[in-house]
Structure 1
Amino acid sequence: ARPLEQMKLRARFDLAVTLTRAGKGFTMTEQPIAIDRTPLRLQGLAGSSLYRSARAAGAPAKVVETYMKALASRMSVGREVKRADSFDLIIERERAATGETRLGRLLYAGLDRGGRKVQLARLPGEDDGDWYDVNGQTQKRGAMGMPVAGRITSSFGKRMHPVLGFMRMHKGLDIGAPRGTPIHAIMDGVVQFAGRSGGYGNFVKLAHGGGIASGYGHMSRFVVRSGARVKQGQVIGYVGSTGMSTGPHLHWEVWKNGATVNPRSLKLSSVAVLSGAKLRAFRHAVQQLMAVKPGR
């Protein structure tokens, strides 16, 4: 048997250690690894799919999902984002002197809509807090946000059913999107049902406060279970074409006090403004983020 004389290993992202035999034991020498913590800024055009364009630019899937959730607090992503709009993401990044890189949280969510900008950031140190605009205000107003990034292919009301071939009440909205596009909960709630449901295919139903419930059909798969609590914007499943469907899309229904209603008819509103020390810290953090140059 040959005794171990020396061993080198990576103890942490920012630390390497060397163990060297010294008599009957070992001594340990630490070698700190320099880390560059300059954030990563990615920019580009939304194109035909904002989600896919941001992913193609180099943003991790979870970061893009967080980005879409942030935008959804201010606008209807599926209906209002145009091909010529440009995205702007700033992501936490660590680069080791030894060459490794790892990405972390989304720090800034921006969208330029032809001069009308959405610019959102969180309070320093708050990983799951609200998104504020650059003036320190958070608000959720107007029509209920869309649960998926896509385009409406069939509205609420009577229509000719694409499979059955006769006039029938369409109790929700159909939103066309590529297979696998993330589907988000429109509000905080509890999962009432998650499973196979006839023509709806893979279906999830959420119960929200105030007598409001929402349903999501034709999923390729769902990632929540009955009885689980979900937060607004949380991914609950992915677009598919299960059940009575002619192609990948989401069938989205909303109920108020047990009766189906047009999702576009529901209004949500909440506003909060930072002040004092929190506002000063927020503005300082935003100023530092805006100084980050785009590029890898």
Structure 2
Amino acid sequence: MSVESIDAHQHFWDPSRGDYGWLTPELGGLYREFGPDDLKPLREAENVSRTVVVQAAQTVDETRYLLDLARNDSSIAGVVGWVPLDAPNAADLIDELAREPKFKAVRPMLQDLPDDRWIENPALAPAIHALIKNNLAFDALIFPRHVASLKIFAKRFPDLRIVIDHGAKPQIKDGGAGWQIWADGMAELAALPQGLRCKLSGLATEAAPGWTTAILKPYVDHLLKQFGPDRLMWGSDWPVLNLNGDYAQWHDAARQLTSHLNAPQQQALFGDTAKTFYRL
């Protein structure tokens, strides 16, 4: 029986839109437009039928741009957008965006904010309650240093569906530096009662050039041990992935690293977890 494979994390962007603060010409091959036609042959070669496209700019305009793309492309199953969660009109904005069928979640770019404890701000509560009311989810883009604050946030909003992006970005390229802090943090997040999800994505980007499956294996094994395949979802992080790998290479590596799982477990990790979490 054929089962659907979903890429739970990828990006589209157009630098000429002018609101990607991090996307500069110094990033070389990333500094150009990437759209559905660029991804189509890559995902089809790996039998990935649909994707979740994730915000890359801290503007509502970019979220609307992604929703416009999604309206015209059936391969885009859902959009993770950006909303100013601490703004007075955040709840109204979420109510408005929630009327778009493919609007599935929001992602504040926590890793880039100057205050590591921003997520603890009580002023976020109206926006988070609006997410819960509208059955929307929350992508947590964090480093290990954000774990303590994310735990406080998750306990404050037990009804909010939360997924951790990129396994919280362990320092793989530093030869295991920070392993214990990362490993303990992921165990703590996985143990929270509402059952946080985690993305098996971004690990290639965090590794040194020339990475192998053997280098990534301890990290993948730890995420599997803590979250299990029913709470993990594979994502490419394309085209950021192009900085240190390519679509086929990372997809094949993830398949190899999880090949010991049984068929239903693999189906969960490569499709079903994303489908149920994001309500695709």
Length-normalised TM-score, structure 1: 0.25
**Structure with the larger helix share:** 2
Q: Return the index of the structure with the highest Cα Rg.
A: 1
**Structure with the larger strand share:** 1
Length-normalised TM-score, structure 2: 0.26
